[in-house]
Chains A and B, each alone.
Chain A
């Protein structure tokens, strides 16, 4: 089965490989906590202007994977190259340079509690884009909040927002600095279907407008369908399958079916509703 899947992937990604090079290249990554391995021998690539969806059961190490990419966690072994440079071996200045180019949406949102939404967005903006004028900063903030549908919460504190609003606000904080690589950790979890769809559209728009490459971690198959150019399934700390959404949906593998089929009824319902 593995061979077949492998072939599928190469068939699918072949076009992308030939004319672009990997922006992020993870090779044989291993990471464990207190001797319990979480990621074992994980390899993947992210190509230019591509949305890569990462699926996997809860606790399979998806968040750990992207945290290793920005060196919030230090891998035990293996390598992560971003723009051709090994993240593990960078000094602080190089690391800061790379981090500026990466937008990171935390699973928990991670909004700064002590600041208003506006200050939350301003915080990375004035530190990363130092040349902007006051007016440009305000405009960018308004635009980003408008994109996530939160224009009227600009002066509220995070504690005054609902869970979904916090998630969107932190998405706005991530995109406001126009990063070249986006790492979304479950961007649509906890959102209603309508807002989820809007977020998926937003993710696609970000990709189109700024030519970003993104890794989208999600459990939301609708979001994966809407945004994913390529899908990777993690299991037990390794890549279980890699391919296009269609290949995943047609797969006869039990684990993959369980991921896709459970949600089937709700998606058909949604379709009939639309129709």
Chain B
């Protein structure tokens, strides 16, 4: 009798065990939903990539729209990139001078700064700025077109929105971002010369020759090649996020925001891969 009591007392606790079990299964369902959403997103991403690829190599090409997008990409980012390029060159020079001076190697300053700008700082900083300006712009623009049914309207007036909207944007970003990077590199070197002239006196010609003597083909080419990938990633992610925006205005903001995050992640991953590959080759 006594032995049974505690057992009986414990029985009312059973429901809580049950709710526990329900909670666990709820969690499990939530997790499976999250995983399926994750995989669906990956699937959508690949599908979108395939459709973009197919539309890129289709016959009709929207040349006017492409030029308009190229102009947009340049126009939107030029002031910011000019400023950043100059400042990066300047700051790098001012900050590395004391260290080099300790080793008595100030003459290496132009070369060192030029290499770091061309290899890494120019491409990555420019690309990250473009993620913010261009990626988010495309995400927001296409997202709002999606939400306000403009993309649907295009589709029913027998225009392939992939061809009209996505392809020109991705190509414009792919071609313009390398140009912007070269421009930022040039301004960076200019900024570096200004920095060198704060303490010391170097003619531009001398600075320039010194800088370029230390830059080899192996610094320049991989750096340029990776910027094409940066551009493609930024354009593609912006378009993808815009196109897959949900319904309702708040999804426009979400699309813009996610474009920036995802594009930045892509830029950094591509940079990582590019460094590995260059390292293996040279």
Residues of A within 8 A of B (CB): 67, 70, 72, 96, 99-100, 102, 104, 106-108, 110-114, 123-124, 127-128, 177
Contacts and interface: CB of A to CB of B under 8 A. Distances in A.
B158 A127 contact: yes
Contacts of A128: 157-158
Contact of B153 (A100, A102, A104): A104
Given A110-B150, A112-B150, A102 B144 contact: no
Nearest to B147: A108
A125 to B, nearest CB: 9
A102 B148 CA distance: 20
B153 A106 contact: yes
Contacts of A111: 150
8 contacts: A99-B157, A107-B149, A112-B150, A113-B144, A113-B145, A123-B157, A127-B158, A128-B157
B159 interface: yes
B152 interface: yes
A106 B158 contact: no
Contacts of B148: 108, 110, 113
Contacts of B8: none
Contact of A99 (B144, B145, B149, B156): B156
Contacts of A124: 157-159
Contacts of B158: 96, 99-100, 124, 127-128
B156 A70 contact: yes
Nearest to B149: A110
B157 A72 contact: no
Interface in B134-184: 141, 144-145, 148-150, 152-159
A113 B150 contact: yes
A110 B159 contact: no
Nearest to A100: B158
A110 B156 CA distance: 12
Contacts of B149: 106-108, 110
B152 A110 contact: yes
Contacts of B152: 67, 72, 106, 110
Given A111-B150, A124-B159, 11 more contacts: A72-B156, A107-B149, A108-B148, A110-B153, A113-B144, A113-B150, A123-B157, A123-B159, A127-B157, A127-B159, A177-B157
Contacts of A67: 152
B153 A112 contact: yes
A170 B87 CA distance: 48
B279 to A, nearest CB: 44
Nearest to A95: B158
A174 to B, nearest CB: 9
B255 to A, nearest CB: 15
Nearest 7 A/B pairs, CB to CB? A124-B157, A110-B153, A110-B149, A104-B156, A96-B158, A106-B149, A110-B150
Interface string B98-123: 00000000000000000000000000
A110 B157 CA distance: 12
A145 B110 CA distance: 63
A106 B147 CA distance: 12
Contacts of B154: 112, 123
